[in-house]
Structure 1
Amino acid sequence: MRPFDTVMMVDWSARSTPSPARPTKDAIFIGIAQGADLTVHYKRTRHAAMAFLTERIDALRAAGRRVLVGFDFPFGYPRGFARAVTGRDDPFAVWEWLAAAITDDEKNGNNRWEVALRLNAMFPGVGPFWGCPATVASTDLPAKGRLREGHGMKERRAVERLLPRAQPCWKLFTTGSVGSQVLMGLPHLQRLRERYGADLSVSPFEAGETPIVLAEIYPGLLDAAIKAQVRKGEILDAVQVRLVAKAFAGVAADDLAAMLQEGDAEEGWILGLGHEAALLDAMVR
């Protein structure tokens, strides 16, 4: 497989208002590795982040270059979710469904709680989604995971059962939650698919021989090594995307190609899981 010319890694956010003008944690950071150059970019809204990414991808595509773009949220749900929601086992059917259901304005205003309620109504019992502000919580969208019952979904994907510290996609709110990032992220990824068509593929659902490849990442794979390199005054999120971009850019092309093919065709996969030693070597090189 032809190597990637550029690697872009995105720390996503589900904020409902713009992030502060001054860079802060729990916002959107984009790390870019291109040759020996490593840069980090801070974006206050999802729309600003996607405008930045598409501008960069458009330029790379026009120049005939390949780009890998990683996002730090799950690309799929536990087995059976797609069929329950869309009648198909295809993860992209969920992307399309969410792209039609989610609203996300230029200041991060969104309807994710309403969509979570709508999704929960498709399942028996209570759940599977949980976690929200007290002003939103109800018997149909509980604030606590223990209040769910009988919804029939597994708590974790296969990849998360191998990596227990990764949070389940059902948790929408409070410390470590990733569920809202999924709801607010997959619609934007679906629009990338629509924009770039056959020039774009998504790991591990499709073969990655295309000019543009999207992949799910989890910076926690290299957590200790990354934290050891955070200097006083730096924001961990910014350091993570910089070093993760460096790691994947430095892995041998054939090894990275093999990683992109690993994983579950319905649930998705965390790129690089099981290859931490190679990634760490590339990161510190």
Structure 2
Amino acid sequence: MTGRGPDGTPQGFDRILVVDWSANSTPKRGADSIWIGSAGAGATPPENMPTRALAMDGLRARINAGLSAGHRVLVTFDIGFGFPAGFAQRVTGQASALAVWDWLALRITDDARNRNNRFDVAAGINRLFPGVGPFWGRPVGRDLPDLPDKGTARQGHGLAELRATEALCAGAHPMWKLYTTGSVGSQSLLGQAHLARLRVEYGRHLAVWPMQGAGAQVVLAETYLSLIGAAVRVAQGYACKDAAQVDLLARAFAGVDMAGLLVAPAAAHVLRDEGWILGAGHDKALLGALDVAA
């Protein structure tokens, strides 16, 4: 059940979903594809989705079930919800991560078979900045002069490599990386476009944390699966590492004092511009909810 904090904001959630997103350009199952973990009301074993379109349909069904039951629903994604300071202002004219979401929703295409234009959009964004970059990484053979294939080829774009929240998460990859292992940039460009459309669909029933607080019936938040890495390393009985991560993190969020996690230790303008990772700096508490030592 959920209660309320001293300021009247609801604390805790009845249903929790954790999504391990993917930027695959073709349908895929198994490791390195989309997995959805859940805890609380309506919880099921980790579910594997071969495409982003099917994953979003599945999330809508789960959100709708929660709304019908009068439940508070937390939906977390292992993607970046914002970019380093200065990016949003340059691209959209507003220092707002959610303005970037809307901008991307108008430009990203991503069909039912995972075919998408993320590299072209990233190259177009790079042209808005001085120098070379900030995005980098592309498939061999893609002729995109404005998108360097190596990070070392970038210069003069004027943006930091990491966001403030990523300093609290060991091993976090920069949002600018679009290709090969740890390409959170590709996942985030595609994910933000899909989530922008979800915001429109659910309107006042949905809020994005921390930019809009956590008072709505449905709350979207960014998270980082490696926060519970110690628990994943000893987990058994899962189809793959991704399945273990989403299941265990959902259970950790269900068992931790959520009130502490929903207070992000950064200024409002930073949260609005860059976003924040739910659970950043709270590794011990999350692992404690799973009875695992940090």
TM (norm. structure 1) is 0.93
Quote the Cα distance in structure 2 between the aligned partners of 1:54 and 1:234: 24
Cα deviation code 1:158-186 (max 9, x no counterpart)? 11233341000000001122110001100
Distance 1:74 1:113 in 2: 17
Share of identical aligned residues, percent? 50
Separation in 1, partners of 2:214, 2:122: 31
Out of 57, 63, 66, the residue aligned to residue 69 of structure 2 is 63
Partner of 1:4: 13
Q: How many residues align?
A: 278
Deviation at 1:257, TM superposition (A): 2.9
Give how far 1:154 is off. 0.8
Question: 2:199 aligned to 183, 193, 200, which one?
Answer: 193
1:192 Cα shift?
Answer: 1.2
Deviation, 1:222, is 1.5
Tell which deviates more after alignment, 129-138 or 118-127: 129-138
Match of 2:262 in 1: 260
Residue identity opposite 2:247 in structure 1 = R
**Do the aligned residues in 1 keep the contact of 2:19 with 2:77 (CA within 8 Å)?**
yes
Answering whether residue 291 of structure 2 is matched by residue 284 of structure 1, we say: yes
After alignment, is 66-75 or 198-207 more displaced? 198-207
Q: Is the 8 A contact 1:38 1:246 kept in 2?
A: no
Taking the aligned partners of 1:50 and 1:218, their CA distance within structure 2 comes to 19
Deviation at 1:284, TM superposition (A): 3.1
Write the distance in 1 (CA, Å) between the matches of 2:42 and 2:113: 34
Q: How does 1:159-198 map to 2 (within 5 A)?
A: 159-198=165-204
Q: Distance in 2 between matches of 1:160 and 1:275?
A: 13
| Structure 1: runs of 5+ lacking an equivalent | none
Provide runs of 4+ in structure 1 moved above 3 Å.
Answer: 35-38
Deviation at 1:35, TM superposition (A): 4.7
Q: Aligned partners of 1:85, 1:203: CA distance in 2, in Å? A: 22
Q: Tell whether the 8 Å contact from 1:120 to 1:126 is kept in structure 2 after alignment.
A: yes
TM-score, normalization: structure 2? 0.91
1:116 aligns with 2:122: yes
| Structure 1 residue corresponding to 2:249, chosen from 221, 244, 249 | 244
2:24 to 15, 21, 32: 15
User: How large is the Cα RMSD of the aligned pairs?
Assistant: 1.6
Of 158, 178, 187 in structure 2, the residue corresponding to residue 152 of structure 1 is: 158
Matched position secondary structure for 1:215: strand
